Amino acid sequence: MPARTQDRPTEVTAAGIARLAGVGRAAVSNWRRRHADFPKPVGGTETSPAFALRDIEQWLRDQGKLAEVPLRERVWQQLVGHPAGAAAALRQAGAVLLLAHDRPAAWQQLRAAADDAELTGVLPAVLDAVLAARLGPGHPVRGLTREALAPSAALVRATGDLAAADGAAAAYDFLLGRHLDANPRQYTLTPPGPAALMAELAAVAGPSGTVLDPACGAGALLAAARERTAEESDGGERDAGERDAGESDAPVTLYGQEADADLAALTALRLALGVPDAQVRVRAADTLRADAFPDLAADAVLVHPPFNERNWGHDELAYDPRWEYGFPARTESELAWVQHALARLREGGTAVLLMPPAAASRRSGRRIRADLLRRGALRAVIALPAGAAPPNGVPLHLWVLRKPGTTPPAPQLLVVDAVGPATGAPAGRDKPDWQTVRTTAVEAWRTFDRDGGIEEQPGVRRSLAAIDLLDDDVDLAPARHLPPPAAAGGPAELARIRERLTTTLARTTALTPRPDGGAAGPARWPVTTVGELARAGALVLRAGGAGTAPAGGAAPAVLTDHDVIGGDAPSGTLPEAPASGPAEEPVLLQAGDVVVPVLGGGAVARVTDDSTAGAALGRNLILLRPDPAALDPWFLAGFLRGTANNRQASSYASTATRLDVRRLQLPRLPLADQRRYGQRFRDLAAFEGALRLTARLGEQLVQGLHDGLTDGSVTPD
């Protein structure tokens, strides 16, 4: 590698500088214009320049804008500014973290005894030995040569420091998570809720010795499978005396394959660090064209396959032995993945695939679906709520398959709809209630798998004979085969809704405000801004979105931006903390806080009451906590909702309107006058809440009457 590349400094963008200093990007632009000594760009483009991280840190310290760069941020900036790219740098950092995790004494001795040149010269052989021991021959973590590591000595040492501070697994979770978050369009990730549900469905028959994900992505399904089998091995459902003959306490082996070589390497490191008690075998190749595990007979297969692929190998694979149930059409790539999963299962093994809903009904796949049913391979189709996984606007399906043995069961299919009102998932909510979805799906599958059938629950679940599905369409969509639920609880429930609606309408009439007391013209108050009030200490300003749920402890609900805009109770959940790292504290709400959405909310501000206090502040929300001796919260929230106020504080630089809360204005008034205005704003909020409740009750009554009239539980009389 040329010397100029080896000496190239770690670079940082304007966004990275803003994170280091805890300011917005606009502040960084102002510094560049106002300070002649601000470091000059060393790379990037004219519109997105890059700066030397070392020079930026020194300048921030000289200006008193940075006391100390957080270690995590330092390592991250070295990763994103690495001359070989962030993915290559993350491979190097992950390999070093694995060395520090598996052989801590050897790592400390090597780090202390060698200078930078010696360290990067000796490391390749040491890392190769550790990787081969943990990931097996043919692992995807490539390119850790002396030349590749030469510019990485600072990164290597900083990564070792981060491992000592946070633990190797937690450090890698943080770095990989930042990389995935920074490249959302490059990776399709399986969220924790569906991953845990798929692992639980696959593990119903007992702990698995081998688990395969042939489209493993970032490894979420394999990690969830290991967590599930660990729970069962610890006695979550059966003790050692209840295990089936042949089951052992041998470590689970996680097999994964991923077409993206960089992602395969990062996933292999994630699994090796995150589940050190499992054997990890991840390979980089196109699964359908170049299967890395052709002789595997896994206990469980979990797959979130790529959807709607035309270039999956249709022309090259016409005579592949995996197509036991029929050769998939070019438009049926998902059915190719289904058959690959079945081909890699042992007899009696379980596969769970996340599927687009069209795969259950497209005419081009009806012959394969019919054969899957006839032979008892397809056991369940479970409809999930929209928002389960990308694409988030589509209610995806889970297919549960069981590889037939010598005596296949009588062909039956379980259909479950976890989308409808029976799941308790609020309509229009972007995040499903995963606890309710999990309970609905798992209870139905366990009962069906144990008994060979299940008691019908209208609108939720049903067991069907395969022969009844073998028509011209072989449409397996659950909604088509489930009888509708009883209309809103029947006439008695509709009568209760009507009574509530009548009462609420009367209350709404009483609360309707009068626009009297008008002035001759607009007031000419002296004004201040939220930013000025924050600097003066009259209020505290906090951004939401941070925080993780404590392991094994109760976690607060999350107030989301949709909850604020819709006037709903907190509905979100905190992500789980890394198993090897501490939980990150969220921002918790207090009564009297004012919460403002910064994306797409328009003129919206909400005052937190006792029922919402204690919830965590969600993403895209700003909390304003006024000093009660200086600011009335209702006065603050009311003036923040002014249309003209929001318009002048909004940015239209991108496709989404973003509100700069610091620029919002409000008049300078004595506290007594603030409270007069605050009381009027409080009355308006009560009227608005009554209107919302009226609309919801009206919708329930109208839909309930439609359902009752159409299913016969309500008569036209």
The 10s digit of each residue's pLDDT in 260-272 is: 999 999 999 999 9
| CA–CA distances in Å: residue 57 to residues 23, 79, 133, 162, 460 | 14, 16, 39, 19, 58
The 10s digit of each residue's pLDDT in 616-626 is: 999 889 999 99
Task: Tell the residue number behind the tokens 């369409």, with chain if given.
Answer: 473
The 10s digit of each residue's pLDDT in 177-197 is: 888 887 877 888 898 889 999
Residue 445: phi and psi, rounded to 5, are -65, -40
Q: Under a CB-based contact definition with an 8 Å cutoff, are residues 193 and 208 in contact?
A: no
Is 29 a residue whose pLDDT tops 60? yes
Give residue 205's pLDDT: 43
- Please tell me the pTM assigned to this model: 0.69
| CA–CA distances in Å: residue 549 to residues 316, 320, 542, 585 | 47, 46, 19, 8
Find the Cα–Cα–Cα–Cα dihedral 20, 21, 24, 30, rounded to 10°: -120
CA distance 609 to 631: 16
Give the count of beta carbons closer than 10 Å to the beta carbon of residue 24. Answer: 13
Residues of the chain with pLDDT > 70: what percent?
87
What would the mean pLDDT of 302-321 be, rounded to a whole number?
94
Confidence of residue 119 (pLDDT cuts 50, 70, 90): confident
Token pair belonging to 494: 């509709």
- What is the number of alpha carbons within 13 Å of residue 96 lying toward its C-beta? 30
The 10s digit of each residue's pLDDT in 362-397 is: 999 999 999 999 999 999 999 999 888 877 778 899
Give residue 231's pLDDT: 67
Is 349 a residue whose pLDDT tops 90? yes
CA distance 549 to 687: 36
CA distance 460 to 482: 7
What would the mean pLDDT of 148-161 be, rounded to a whole number?
87
Contacts of 387 by beta carbon, 8 Å cutoff, 6+ apart: 393, 429, 430, 431, 432
Confidence of residue 484 (pLDDT cuts 50, 70, 90): confident
Is pLDDT larger for residue 67 or for residue 642?
642
What would the mean pLDDT of 503-528 be, rounded to a whole number?
80
Is 329 a residue whose pLDDT tops 90? yes
Give the count of beta carbons closer than 10 Å to the beta carbon of residue 690. Answer: 19
Helix/strand/coil for 521: coil
Is 276 a residue whose pLDDT tops 80? yes
Is 321 a residue whose pLDDT tops 90? yes
Give residue 555's pLDDT: 77
Is 487 a residue whose pLDDT tops 70? no
SS (H, E, C) 609-664: CCCCCCCEECCCEEEEEECCCCCCHHHHHHHHCCHHHHHHCEECCCCCCEECHHHC
Token pair belonging to 539: 């209020």
Confidence of residue 246 (pLDDT cuts 50, 70, 90): very low
Confidence of residue 520 (pLDDT cuts 50, 70, 90): low
Alpha helices in 22-115 (DSSP H): 25-34, 53-62, 71-80, 86-102, 104-113
Is 628 a residue whose pLDDT tops 60? yes
Is 422 a residue whose pLDDT tops 60? no
Give the closest residue to 168 by CA, choosing from 97, 274, 72, 89: 97
The 10s digit of each residue's pLDDT in 52-105 is: 877 887 888 888 776 566 788 778 888 887 888 889 999 999 999 999 999 998
Give residue 209's pLDDT: 85
Query: How would you class 451 by CB atoms within 10 Å of its CB: exposed for 0-12, middle for 13-18, buried for 19 or more?
Result: exposed
Give residue 619's pLDDT: 87
Is pLDDT larger for residue 23 or for residue 445?
445
Averaged pLDDT score across all residues of the chain = 84
How far is residue 314 CA from its own chain's centroid?
32
| CA–CA distances in Å: residue 9 to residues 70, 80, 154 | 19, 12, 10
Q: Under a CB-based contact definition with an 8 Å cutoff, are residues 586 and 599 in contact?
A: no
Is 236 a residue whose pLDDT tops 50? no
Q: Which helix (H) or strand (E) covers residue 219, if one does?
A: none
Give residue 272's pLDDT: 94
The 10s digit of each residue's pLDDT in 541-587 is: 998 887 777 655 567 889 988 888 888 888 888 876 655 455 678 89
Residues of the chain with pLDDT > 90: what percent?
43
Confidence of residue 705 (pLDDT cuts 50, 70, 90): confident
CA distance 77 to 70: 11
Confidence of residue 136 (pLDDT cuts 50, 70, 90): very high
Q: Under a CB-based contact definition with an 8 Å cutoff, are residues 215 and 337 in contact?
A: yes
Query: How would you class 183 by CB atoms within 10 Å of its CB: exposed for 0-12, middle for 13-18, buried for 19 or more?
Result: exposed
What would the mean pLDDT of 615-637 be, rounded to a whole number?
92
> Could you please report the per-residue DSSP string of 448-511?
HHHHSS---BTTTEEEEEGGGG-SSS----HHHHSPPPPGGG-HHHHHHHHHHHHHHHHHHHHH
